[in-house]
């Protein structure tokens, strides 16, 4: 499975208008919650579609559980991003979380005003799009975040990997302040259970 799937994260031209949310408002929204859950629909680079549930526990933790028949699982935790392949009895593919665009929204203190992080910021009457990347490692790819206002909500994102493959994640209603077990984000424990150790 590709890093684009791990990211489990519409790059379309959107005309800029005055109603675009400010970067500070978006940063404040992302920093306003520690935990959140939402259903999602994922459109993969090959056009296939998956659905599932996303759980976020900031900083640095996320879990993408896919609905059957897809048994894939993606976990961010312990500074790593792990892709579990249901067809394999091997440990998951792992990548340093800070080398993936997903890290931008899982940081302890999101600050989209940080120099060079945002490479695009526009919107229309209904949404605002922010395209961001790691300023120290732009080769790791980009994440395009789409927000609505009143109230500010993250509605979707698109992760484009280093090869130009885009994965879109469209979120359902997000519930914040939910109780999430630390075990959900434990890559070592999940690995042990899956390979029968």
Q: What distance in Å separates the CA atoms of residue 12 and residue 38, rounded to the nearest whole number?
A: 24
CA atoms within 13 A on the CB side of 191: 15
In sequence order, the 6+-apart residues with CB closer than 8 A to the CB of 152 are: 21, 25, 26, 29
Query: Tens of pLDDT along the chain (197 residues)?
Result: 444 433 333 333 333 444 789 999 999 999 999 999 999 999 999 999 999 999 999 999 999 999 998 888 999 999 999 999 887 777 899 999 988 878 888 999 999 888 678 899 999 888 999 998 887 888 888 899 999 998 899 999 999 988 889 999 999 999 999 999 999 999 999 988 877 65
pLDDT score, position 117 = 82
Q: What distance in Å separates the CA atoms of residue 90 and residue 96, rounded to the nearest whole number?
A: 19
CB contact at 8 A, 76 and 60: yes
pLDDT score, position 7 = 39
Q: Whose structure tokens read 């520690």?
A: 34
CATH 2.50.20.10 fits 3-194, yes or no: yes
Q: What distance in Å separates the CA atoms of residue 82 and residue 85, rounded to the nearest whole number?
A: 10
pLDDT score, position 28 = 95
pLDDT score, position 135 = 78
Cβ neighbour number for residue 116 with a 10 Å cutoff: 11
């Amino acid at each position: 499975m590709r890093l684009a799937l791990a990211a489990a994260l519409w790059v379309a031209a959107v005309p800029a208008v005055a109603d675009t949310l400010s970067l500070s408002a978006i940063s404040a929204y992302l920093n306003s919650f520690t935990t959140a859950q939402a259903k999602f629909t994922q459109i993969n680079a090959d056009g296939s579609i998956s659905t599932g549930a996303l759980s976020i526990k900031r900083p640095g933790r996320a879990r993408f559980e896919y609905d059957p028949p897809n048994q894939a699982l993606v976990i961010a935790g312990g500074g790593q991003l792990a892709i579990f392949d249901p067809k394999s009895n091997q440990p998951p593919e792992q990548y340093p979380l800070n080398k993936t665009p997903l890290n931008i929204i899982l940081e302890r203190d999101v600050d989209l005003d940080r120099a060079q992080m945002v490479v695009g910021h526009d919107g229309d009457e209904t949404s605002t799009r922010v395209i961001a990347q790691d300023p120290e490692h732009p080769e790791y790819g980009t994440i395009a975040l789409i927000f609505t206002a009143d109230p500010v909500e993250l509605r979707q994102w698109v992760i484009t990997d280093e090869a130009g493959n885009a994965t879109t994640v469209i979120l359902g209603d997000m519930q914040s302040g939910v109780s999430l077990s630390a075990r959900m984000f434990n890559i070592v424990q999940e690995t042990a259970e899956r390979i029968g150790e």
